[in-house]
C-alpha cells in the first residue's frame, strides 16, 4: 500500500492481490452442481476475506510506521528553525564581514585624518610660534619707536618752549583796521608806559604781531623780546596791567597748555602754571611739583612723596 496526498487528505492504495470475482452463470445443472458451486463460491469468498485480512494487516503495519500530525508539525518546525538559524548565521556572518570591512575602512580614514590633523597642528604651532616671535619683535620695535617718538616729542616741545622763553602775550589790546607792525609796537610800548611805568624800547622788540583766537574775540599780541631781562621787567607788572583790563601771559606751547589743563582737572592739584620753560602744579597738600607732558600725575605725586620720605627718587 502506498500513500498519496490530495488537498490535505490521505488516500490509501492497496498493493496486495485483488480478490477475483466469478461471473454469475445461469443454472443449468442439478442441485449437486449447485451445491458444489456454492462451495466453490464460499471458498472464493474465504480466500478474498483472507486476502483482505492480510491487506488490512499490512495496512495496519504501514499506518503504524507513518508519522503523526504533531510529529510532522514538529519536524517541519524543527526543519524551518534549523534553516532559519543557518540563514541567520549566514546573514550575521555577511553583516559582520561588511561591518568589519567598513570599520576597517573608516579606521583607515580616521588614522589618515589624525595623521593630517597632527601635521596640521604642528604647522599651526610653528606658525603661532613664528607669529608670536614676530609679534614680540614687532611689539618691541613699536615700544621702542614709541619711546623714541615720545622722547623726540618731549625734546621738540622743550626746544619749542625754549625758543619762546622771551615771548609775551598781551591780551585785550584793541585792534585798529589799518594796524601795522610799527603802529602796533607803538601802541604796546605806550600802554606799558602808561599803566606800568615800564619804558620798553623798540630796539628790545625782535618781532611783534597778533595771533589767532576765537571768532569775536580780540586777537592777542605776541611780542618776541631781545632778551629775558626785558621780559622779566614786563612780567613783574602783571598786576597793574590786569587792574587796567590787560593781561600778560607767557607764550606756552600747545602740549604744555594741555598739561596745565589736565592738572587743573586732577582732584589732588589745586593750581597749575608755567614758569621758566616748565609746568608746575601745587597739590592740595601745598606740594610744588614739576610735571612733564607724558607724566602720569598720580605716579609723579607718589614718587615725589616717596622721595621726600626716603630720599630715593624713582624717576
89-118, pLDDT tens digit by residue?
888 888 888 888 889 988 888 989 988 899
Contacts of residue 31, defined as CB under 8 A and 6 or more positions apart, other chains included, come to none
The owner of cell 619707536 is 145
- Please name the residue that has the C-alpha cell 590633523: 117
φ, ψ (nearest 5 deg) of residue 130: -65, -45
The span from the CA of 305 to the CA of 289, in Å, is 10
Q: How confident is the model at residue 24 (pLDDT cuts 50, 70, 90)?
A: very low
pLDDT of 1: 44
Write down the pTM of the prediction.
Answer: 0.57
CA angle 144, 146, 152 (to 5 degrees): 105
User: Is pLDDT larger for residue 199 or for residue 68?
Assistant: 199
What's the distance, CA 307 to chain centroid? 48
- For 297, list phi and psi in degrees, rounded to 5: -60, -45
Contacts of 301 (CB under 8 A, 6+ apart): 268, 283, 287, 289
CB 294 within 8 A of CB 152: no
pLDDT at 23 over 60: no
Interatomic CA distance for residues 278 and 255, integer angstroms: 11
Q: Which residues pair with 169 in a beta bridge?
A: 222, 249
Q: Say what the pLDDT of residue 27 is.
A: 47
pLDDT at 240: 95
Report the alpha-carbon angle 181-273-165, nearest 5.
40
What pLDDT, on the 0 to 100 scale, is given for residue 32? Answer: 60
C-alpha cell at 237: 607788572
Model confidence pLDDT, tens digit, residues 281-303: 999 999 999 999 999 999 999 99
pLDDT tens digits, residue range 258-279? 999 999 999 999 999 999 899 9
Distances 56 to 49, 67, 85, 275 between C-alpha atoms, Å: 10, 18, 43, 151
The residue assigned the cell 620695535 is 141
Rg of the Cα atoms in the chain: 67
Amino acid at each position: 500500500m502506498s500513500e498519496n496526498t490530495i488537498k490535505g487528505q490521505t488516500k490509501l492504495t492497496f498493493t496486495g492481490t485483488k480478490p477475483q470475482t466469478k461471473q454469475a452463470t445461469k443454472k443449468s445443472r442439478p442441485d449437486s452442481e449447485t451445491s458444489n458451486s456454492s462451495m466453490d463460491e464460499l471458498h472464493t469468498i474465504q480466500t478474498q476475506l483472507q486476502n483482505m485480512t492480510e491487506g488490512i494487516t499490512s495496512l495496519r503495519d504501514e499506518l503504524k510506521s507513518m508519522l503523526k500530525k504533531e510529529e510532522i508539525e514538529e519536524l517541519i518546525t524543527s526543519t524551518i528553525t534549523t534553516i532559519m538559524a543557518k540563514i541567520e548565521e549566514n546573514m550575521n556572518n555577511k553583516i559582520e564581514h561588511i561591518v568589519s570591512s567598513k570599520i576597517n575602512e573608516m579606521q583607515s580614514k580616521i588614522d589618515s585624518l589624525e595623521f593630517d590633523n597632527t601635521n596640521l597642528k604642528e604647522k599651526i604651532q610653528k606658525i603661532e610660534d613664528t607669529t608670536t616671535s614676530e609679534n614680540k619683535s614687532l611689539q618691541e620695535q613699536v615700544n621702542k619707536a614709541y619711546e623714541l617718538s615720545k622722547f623726540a616729542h618731549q625734546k621738540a616741545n622743550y626746544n619749542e618752549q625754549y625758543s619762546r622763553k622771551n615771548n609775551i602775550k598781551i591780551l585785550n589790546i584793541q585792534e585798529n583796521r589799518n594796524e601795522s607792525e610799527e603802529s602796533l609796537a607803538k601802541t604796546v610800548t605806550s600802554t606799558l608806559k602808561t599803566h606800568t611805568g615800564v619804558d620798553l624800547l623798540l630796539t628790545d622788540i625782535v618781532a611783534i604781531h597778533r595771533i589767532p583766537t576765537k571768532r569775536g574775540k580780540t586777537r592777542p599780541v605776541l611780542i618776541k623780546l631781545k632778551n629775558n631781562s626785558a621780559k622779566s621787567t614786563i612780567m613783574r607788572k602783571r598786576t597793574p596791567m590786569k587792574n587796567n583790563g590787560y593781561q600778560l601771559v607767557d607764550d606756552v606751547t600747545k602740549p604744555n597748555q594741555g598739561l596745565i589743563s589736565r592738572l587743573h582737572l586732577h582732584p589732588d592739584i589745586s593750581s597749575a602754571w608755567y614758569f621758566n620753560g616748565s609746568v608746575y602744579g601745587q597739590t592740595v597738600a601745598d606740594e610744588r611739583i614739576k610735571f612733564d607732558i607724558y607724566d602720569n600725575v598720580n605716579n609723579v605725586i607718589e614718587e615725589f612723596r616717596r622721595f621726600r620720605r626716603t630720599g630715593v627718587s624713582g624717576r
